[in-house]
Each structure stands twice: as structure tokens, then as C-alpha cells.
Copies of this chain bind each other. A is one copy, B any other.
Amino acid sequence: MPPIAGVELASVAAGVRYKGRTDLFLAELPPGATVAGALTKSLTASAPVEWCRRNLAEGRARAVLVNSGNANAFTGKKGYDAAVATAEAAAKAIGCEASEIFLASTGVIGELLPAQKVVDAIPALRQGLKSASWAESAKAIMTTDTFPKGATRRTRIGDVPVTINGICKGSGMIAPDMATMLGFVFTDAEIPAPVLQEMLSRGVERSFNCITVDSDTSTSDTVLLFATGKVTHPPVESAKDTHLRDFREALEDLLTDMAIQIVRDGEGAQKLVTIDVTGAASPRAAKRIGLAIANSPLVKTAIAGEDANWGRIVMAVGKSGEWADRDKLAIRIGGVEVAAEGAAVEGYDETPVVAHMKGSEILIEVDVGVGRGRSRVWTCDLTHGYIDINGSYRS
């Protein structure tokens, strides 16, 4: 990934929980950088989420500090104090307000963050700051992830080239309801915080909020978007500016790319599943139907077993609670129509469907026959690997 003017990165092994790997990531930003965020809707949100929520309104950022191994969630006032202590230490080192330091933590819930380990690591982190260590940064924030995740887009505002880079983590406890993982996106463009926020909220709704691994919404989900303002381009005043169109599209494309990487690395996942719902009463209804299918353990285990068991898709549509015409329902798997007008397509050619189910990317299309609402969501299969990973996570 290319550098982003104004962003310097570093990661170190602070020993928060893991041994022999990096677990602390810092990105520093220049004075004047702006920030937008999308945070979990969980009512048991973590201390860092609470901290970010308080400081996002100001829209100014000088750094983001992220640890893995400990989520600092459900740790009460002590946990919040621990978060504040790390922000204050970073602010002092950088020479800014603590409110300009954004925080995220991921890992075990319910254990107090060892704040001193983080504080002690800040000098070493700052010494290692470079503009080109995106892959190392993505590694430092991993938990059960099996590969580091990142994406980059080159776009333009007016005629001026700008860059957007993002790194993220996430593998389990992934369900849509903002934002289901940690994601950090940086651009060298100069964009006011309210405009940044509008674009991020819209983009997240169509990307991170359309993925599910296991229907479990995390206490810590955080997506932050930072703009360093280091590139001079026609000024941006509103998210609706016509010269922002390319940027908006590139941002949404990048967020979708990142979201799909998370599903692809879903805990135990062997297959990436794309679900297109059409013919629903509204886009919102289509998304609910899509997620009912994507979250169904019976659909997900059938996919793991490479079984084109579309009866379970029918079941999931039925349980979604959204309006569907049972006798108009149509289902395609891998592009082949297997059910139409509320019943199996008699004598359809199973051969291409069986072959499709053996692949690593599965496409399910469902038309529920009542309107024009459509939505696309992504999930993965449910395998023995998920049980292995989550039956012994803490031990």
C-alpha cells in the first residue's frame, strides 16, 4: 500500500496479552486532520468506544492508538480510566489534547486493560513511526484473524489525485449493526469532519453493515476515517459536491473491499457467500431477508456441507418476518434457477449447481416477488473450524 501524506505508522509488542507478536498500533496525523467514525450500537459498548463517541463531535484527530488482546469492555469505571490514561499519555508525547487521540481495543471482554504496558510502549512506538508500514500495522491489530487486511484506492477530487488507505481486523463476533470490527481509513484529502462523517455513515451502511459471520455484534466495533488535508484540491463543502463523486465511489468501494475481507476470514470460514435479495417491499426489507438467510445456522451448515439445500433458504425467508409471496418466490444458486413460483423447478440441471457449491465463492439470489426493494449482503459458511476456535478461545 502506498504512503498517505501526513500519516505515520508504527507497531510494537507491548505484551498486553499475546507473546511474541506485535499488539499495539499507532497512527499519527498532522495538526488540522479531521475524523469521522461509526461505532457499535451495542448497549454494553467498551470503554474505547465510549471515549471515541465523546470526542468525535469535535472532529479533530492527531492520532489513533489501538491494542489487540484485550477489549477493555465491561470493565466499569476502572476500564474507562485505563483508556483515558493511555490517551493522555499519547497526547502528552505528541503535544496535543487528549480528545484528539482516538482509541480502539480488541480481544477478551471483561478483563481490565493493563494501561501501564500501553503507556510504557508509547516512546518506542513513536520512535518507530514511518509512512510505509501498513501491512505491519494490520498485523498488530489481529486477534483470531488468519491474515492481515487492507485496501487502497487511488481517486481524484476535481482533477487532483488523492489516495485512500484502510486497514481492518475482524473474524468472529461479526454482525451488522455498526460496524462489527475495527477499521481505520486514512486519506490525504482535505475534507471537513461533517462531510467525512456523512460519507462514512453512508458507506458503512452498504459495506460493514451488510456483513455477518455469526450474528454476534461486538462491544467494540469501530470504523474511523481520517483526512490529513495534505493534498491541495478544489475545496470540499458538502458530501453532495459533484467533484467529490469519484472520491465517494472510491471510498465505498474500499469499505466494501475491507468488509468482504473480513467475511472471507470469518472464523472457520471456507466459503464466501454473496446473497442478493430482490423483489422485496423495500431496500430495508430486502436487507432483513438477506440477513435472515445469512445468519441461519441451517443455511450456513448446508453451505459448509456443499449441499444446495434451498429449502432452508425458503425457511429463512419465512422467518425474517418481512413480506414475501410464498407462491412467487424464486431462488437461483450459482446463477441456476432451482425454485420458481413457490416450488422446485422440476428437472433443473443439478450438475452446475453441485459444481458451484464445491467452489469457494457461493452466490445465492432470491426474489421474493412483492416489490422492487433490493439488497446485497455477505456471509460465510458455518464449519467445524468455528466450533474449534470458539470452544477454546480463552484457554
Contact = CB atoms under 8 A, between A and B. Distances in A.
A215 interface: yes
A296 B216 contact: yes
Nearest to A343: B76
B343 A298 contact: no
A311 B73 contact: yes
A51 interface: no
A395 interface: yes
A172 interface: yes
Copies in the complex: 2
Interface residues of A, number: 71
Interface stretch (A37-45, A114-122, A181-189, A229-237): A37-45
A195 interface: no
Interface in A27-49: 40-45
Contact of A341 (B76, B214, B383, B384): B76
Contacts of A387: 301, 304, 382-384, 387
A320 B302 CA distance: 27
Nearest to A316: B216
Given A44-B329, A307-B391, A73 B314 contact: yes
A33 to B, nearest CB: 31
A322 B76 CA distance: 20
Nearest to A389: B301
Contacts of A320: 43
15 contacts: A43-B318, A43-B321, A43-B324, A44-B317, A44-B318, A44-B324, A74-B314, A74-B326, A109-B314, A173-B315, A215-B215, A216-B312, A216-B316, A307-B394, A383-B387
